[in-house]
Amino acid sequence: MARSFSDRQTELWAFIKRADRKNSKLAIFIHGWRGGYLSTWGDLAQYLEIHADTHDVFREWDYLFLGYETYSVSSLLDIAELVAERWSKASRGEPPFDQQYEKLALVGHSLGTLGIRQLLCALSIQPNGLLTAIKKVLLLGSPMNGSPLAGYADIGPLFDLFRGKVGALHPDSYQINDALRPDGQILKMLHTWNSTVRKNNYPNIPIKVVLGTNDRVVGPKGMTQWDGDTEVRTTPHSHSTLCKVPGGQTEALIIDELKGVLA
């Protein structure tokens, strides 16, 4: 068995699909604050390209890693709409997909987890059949109550410091900062929106949240379960190691969690 690996750096996405047959299940990964569509996950994409077809669970899925420029995101709806647009194309078999997908798993890290929550709440932007297609949602390092770093004037270097990332900062401001402020209005509205939708017409979608006890980006206030979350797990990881496969390794937290999500 073999996998094809398409990496579109200018379009900020990578797609790994089975080459010997057509799968009907697609897992979409969405990164967080100043992350990268591949770099956030370490060697996860390479692991799936090489090892997916040797595993009973992983071989049944194809994998899409989505990216965005943080400075260009003005609201959580921007992230939600990005995921919605790609799933809409995947479900219809439109380019870059050459087959129709029927089942979906969503995996988010950090800010990306809030974008996923926004998508699940915003019924008006959801493609037809989205909620019934979702098998499970995995949220890693989710700032469910904001980040203690969001109150600082220049949040970019601080997030990079605690995520272990070094690099030049983009000169533009980050409008999405407000979504990460503890007790901010955006998070309060999203929390209420989530509760309202869950109580009315939300399908029973399993949502698992994994938080690191050494995560200084999210902090201890992140340890809160939202309405509809089926499981919240804590593990002694930092914000960045929650979602990374270290170079050349075949064991990592994210690999174990994916096995449960995709099974």
- The domain in which residue 134 lies consists of 3-262
Lowest mean pLDDT among 26-30, 230-234, 258-262: 230-234
Please say if the pLDDT value at position 221 is more than 60: no
Give the phi and the psi of residue 180 in degrees, each rounded to 5.
-105, 5
Higher pLDDT residue, 138 or 172?
138
Q: Which of 44, 110, 45, 25 is nearest to 76 (CA)?
A: 110
145, two tokens: 């109550």
Total number of domains in the chain: 1
> What pLDDT is recorded for position 147?
85
User: pLDDT for 185-208, tens place per residue?
Assistant: 899 999 999 988 888 767 789 999
Note the pLDDT tens digit of each residue in 168-182.
Answer: 444 445 678 888 888
Cis geometry, peptide bond prior to residue 236 (ω within 30 degrees of 0): no
Tens of pLDDT along 29-88? 999 988 999 999 999 999 999 999 999 999 999 999 999 998 888 899 999 999 999 999
β-pairing, 3-8 vs 13-18, is antiparallel
pLDDT at position 179, please? 87
Residue 9, class by beta-carbon neighbours within 10 Å (0-12 exposed, 13-18 middle, 19+ buried)?
Answer: exposed
Provide the edge-to-edge strand list for the sheet that holds 25-30: 3-8, 13-18, 61-66, 25-30, 103-109, 134-140, 207-212, 231-235
Structure tokens at 152: 């600082």
Please tell me the distance from the alpha carbon of residue 127 to that of residue 125, in angstroms, as a whole number: 7
Question: Confidence band (pLDDT; 50, 70, 90) for 263?
Answer: very high
The pLDDT score that the predictor gives to residue 35 is 92
Helices 76-92 + 111-121 axis angle, to 10: 70
What is the pLDDT at residue 168?
Answer: 43
Do 152 and 181 form a contact (C-beta atoms < 8 A)?
Answer: no
Cβ(52)–Cβ(58) below 8 Å: yes
Measured in whole angstroms, the distance separating CA 121 from the mean position of its chain's CA atoms is: 15
Closest residue by Cα to residue 185 from 35, 76, 33, 70: 76
pLDDT tens-place string over residues 82-131: 999 999 999 999 999 999 999 999 999 999 999 999 999 998 999 999 99
Indicate the pLDDT class of residue 223, thresholds 50, 70 and 90.
low
Q: Which residues pair with 233 in a beta bridge?
A: 210
CA torsion, ordered 249, 257, 219, 204, to nearest 10 deg: 160
**Do 58 and 260 contact (CB within 8 A), yes or no?**
no
Residue 152 has pLDDT above 70, yes or no: no
C-alpha span between 206 and 62 (Å, rounded): 20
CATH of the domain at 249: 3.40.50.1820
